């Protein structure tokens, strides 16, 4: 038994060593990313700066993988060329960090995800560029290896967690909860990539893995395909209902059809090698791409109605672009008898890249569309003079809401300075002065905040106090009676203490929490002493420990508390 365990450990270590020799740069970058994320887990200072650095290095992982794959295909044979290519890659990452990652908001994050997707898809395709056969088997092998790696990594992590938890339980070993996240980062960010990359076939191994996985074959042919067929029947029934009732669906249907069609494209890709040997797979590939086209048409019409009413946003843009890629793929499957499916993967990478760069990108078209929508509403209400907005008190509530939504869209995803008709110094405090009415749905542009203690719920020093009260254990109606005292705490975050029916203390805890928030803007994790509030009057002394609280900044001068957990110590004079 021990020999078998040692053999498994030795095999695993040799696999990891093989991976390190073959892919040193990607694994080194993965190691650096994990180190930065672990530091972030333990420190809140310079959090955003380190996160942006980690994202840049994470982007370098698929970039380095692509360069390694190109090198194995002998695209780079000269040492000087190799050095030049890697120097150029470093320069690209530096420029990305400096100019394309200014913050951690929607535009930067979605662009980061799109570039990553493109690079990983290109890495997948590079070994088979210029070839037509065998690519599906290659992808299936990587998919199976990825699933196996996920299982191994999960078992390893859960096993170590079980050991740590047992030590903590049986021997009272104090283990910080942060160590569990550290461990997951190490397993998922270092062990798993190294283990997975070791199984990627080398160029000379082509043809050695072109045997279809039996488990996957049964899963796809006899479980997934029937489910897709049933789901298609449901969507067709709904499509017929739309035609009969002449009532087009809301945007949720577009998303359902998109994800269903994306999944269907992947399934067709996977079963494509089986079409010659399995009649069910052949029938599905022959007819399904044609049958799904009317459903995609329903999706485009539904999304077109939404865009006509509310304009283009990034979410709608990505749905349309995803739908176009799926439609193109289905046409390709329907028209071509023997497809080169690597083209579908390359097209997906190219579409993802084009969606976030250039004048046709999601961001550019969305800002243009929303500006046009705003101008249309203002012109309708005679509020646009020489390209500048003028205040009006006769705007309908529906139009007020639409104007507010557009402004909040720019505030949350872009910048109010990019709204064409606004004065240069506009902010939401000048909403009524500029437009003639207040913001009707200010909650949408609010910025969420959350503060919590560095050490979770610390041990409380109760010496010198008579009562302890925890918000976690208050009665459902917000009252706790302990004769002759009554403690009342409700959703308005006001705590009231009475003795023999006479009020002896009252405090708005939301205002206390907001004062802490104002003094610690931009910091989530706070030292314990910063989360303590002490107060007294002629009747009592109060000591309040906030464990965590959260809320939203509605504007530069207005914030709202939505949730809090605290412990309260009370001394009666």
For the stretch 329-383, pLDDT in tens is 999 999 988 889 999 999 999 999 999 999 999 999 999 999 999 999 999 999 9
**Which residues, in sequence order, are CB contacts of 81 under 8 Å at separation 6+?**
none
Torsion of CA 401, 407, 409, 411, to 10 degrees: -140
Give pLDDT, residue 397.
77
Burial of 425: CB neighbours in 10 Å, binned 0-12, 13-18, 19+: exposed
Q: How far apart are CA 524 and CA 531, in angstroms?
A: 11
Q: How far apart are CA 559 and CA 319, in angstroms?
A: 34
Closest CA to 443 of 397, 415, 420, 411: 411
Low-confidence residues in the chain, pLDDT < 70? 1, 249-251, 440-446, 454-458, 472-479, 491, 554-557
Angle at 548 between CA 543 and CA 550, to 5 degrees: 120
- Tens of pLDDT along 146-201? 999 999 999 999 999 999 888 887 887 777 878 999 999 999 999 999 999 999 99
* Strand partners for 449: 551
Give pLDDT, residue 239.
86
279-291 helix and 225-245 helix, angle to the nearest 10 degrees: 20
Is residue 23 within 8 Å of residue 65, measured between CB atoms?
yes
Q: How far apart are CA 426 and CA 282, in angstroms?
A: 61
Is residue 462 within 8 Å of residue 569, measured between CB atoms?
yes
Give pLDDT, residue 171.
80
Residues in the chain: 573
Give pLDDT, residue 485.
84
Is residue 423 within 8 Å of residue 388, measured between CB atoms?
yes
Burial of 378: CB neighbours in 10 Å, binned 0-12, 13-18, 19+: buried
Give pLDDT, residue 143.
94
- Which H or E run includes 422? none
**Which residues, in sequence order, are CB contacts of 55 under 8 Å at separation 6+?**
101, 112
Is residue 32 within 8 Å of residue 71, measured between CB atoms?
no
Q: How many other C-beta atoms lie within 10 A of the C-beta of residue 505? A: 20
Give pLDDT, residue 249.
62
Give pLDDT, residue 88.
96
Torsion of CA 114, 116, 119, 121, to 10 degrees: -80
Give pLDDT, residue 475.
43
Give pLDDT, residue 90.
97
Is residue 554 within 8 Å of residue 560, measured between CB atoms?
yes
Is residue 112 within 8 Å of residue 55, measured between CB atoms?
yes
Give pLDDT, residue 492.
74
Cα 455 from chain centre: 27
């Amino acid at each position: 038994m021990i020999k078998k365990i040692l053999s498994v450990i030795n095999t695993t270590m040799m696999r990891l060593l093989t991976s390190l020799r073959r892919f040193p740069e990607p694994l080194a970058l993965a190691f650096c990313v994990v180190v930065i994320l672990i530091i972030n887990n333990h420190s809140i200072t310079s959090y955003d700066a380190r996160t942006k650095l980690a994202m840049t290095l994470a982007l370098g992982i698929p970039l380095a993988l692509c360069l390694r794959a190109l090198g194995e295909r002998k695209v780079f044979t000269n040492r000087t060329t190799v050095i030049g290519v890697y120097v150029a890659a470093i320069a690209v990452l530096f420029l990305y960090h400096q100019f394309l990652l200014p913050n951690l908001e929607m535009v930067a994050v979605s662009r980061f995800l799109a570039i990553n997707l493109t690079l990983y898809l290109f890495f997948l395709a590079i070994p088979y560029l210029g070839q037509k056969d065998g690519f599906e088997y290659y992808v299936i092998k990587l998919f199976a290896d990825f699933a196996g790696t996920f299982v191994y990594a999960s078992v390893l992590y859960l096993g170590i967690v079980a050991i740590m938890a047992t030590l903590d339980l049986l021997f009272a070993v104090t283990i910080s909860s942060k160590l569990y996240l550290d461990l997951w980062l190490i397993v998922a960010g270092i062990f798993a990539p190294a283990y997975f990359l070791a199984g990627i076939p080398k160029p000379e191994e082509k043809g050695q893995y072109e045997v279809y996985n039996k488990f996957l074959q049964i899963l796809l042919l006899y479980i997934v395909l029937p489910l897709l067929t049933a789901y298609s029947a449901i969507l067709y029934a709904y499509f017929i209902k739309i035609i009969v009732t002449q009532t087009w669906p809301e945007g949720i249907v577009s998303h359902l059809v998109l994800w269903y069609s994306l999944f269907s494209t992947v399934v067709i890709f996977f079963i494509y090698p089986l079409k010659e040997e399995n009649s069910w797979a052949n029938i599905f590939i022959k007819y399904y791409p044609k049958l799904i086209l009317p459903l995609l048409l329903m999706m485009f019409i539904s999304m077109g109605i939404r865009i006509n009413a509310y304009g283009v946003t990034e979410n709608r843009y990505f749905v349309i672009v995803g739908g176009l890629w799926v439609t193109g793929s289905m046409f390709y499957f329907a028209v071509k008898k023997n497809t080169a499916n690597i083209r579908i993967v390359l097209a997906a990478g190219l579409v993802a890249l084009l969606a976030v760069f250039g004048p046709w990108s999601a961001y550019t078209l969305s800002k243009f569309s929303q500006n046009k929508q705003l101008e249309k509403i203002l012109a309708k209400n005679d509020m646009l003079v020489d390209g500048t907005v003028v205040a009006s008190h006769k705007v309908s509530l529906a139009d007020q809401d639409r104007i507010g939504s557009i402004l909040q869209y720019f505030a949350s995803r872009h910048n109010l300075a990019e709204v064409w008709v606004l004065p240069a110094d506009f902010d939401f405090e000048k909403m009524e002065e500029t437009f003639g009415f207040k913001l009707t749905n200010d909650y949408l542009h609010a910025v969420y905040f959350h503060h919590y203690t560095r050490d979770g719920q610390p041990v409380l020093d109760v010496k010198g106090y008579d009562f302890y009260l925890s918000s976690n254990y208050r009665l459902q109606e917000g009252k706790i009676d302990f004769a002759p005292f009554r403690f009342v705490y409700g959703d308005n975050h006001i705590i009231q203490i009475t003795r023999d029916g006479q009020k002896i203390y009252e405090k708005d805890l939301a205002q206390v929490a907001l004062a802490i928030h104002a003094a610690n803007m931009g910091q989530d994790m706070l030292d314990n002493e910063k989360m303590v509030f002490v107060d007294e009057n002629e009747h009592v002394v109060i000591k309040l420990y906030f464990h965590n609280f959260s809320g939203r900044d509605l504007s530069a001068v207005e914030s709202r508390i939505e949730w809090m957990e605290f412990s309260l110590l009370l001394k009666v004079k």
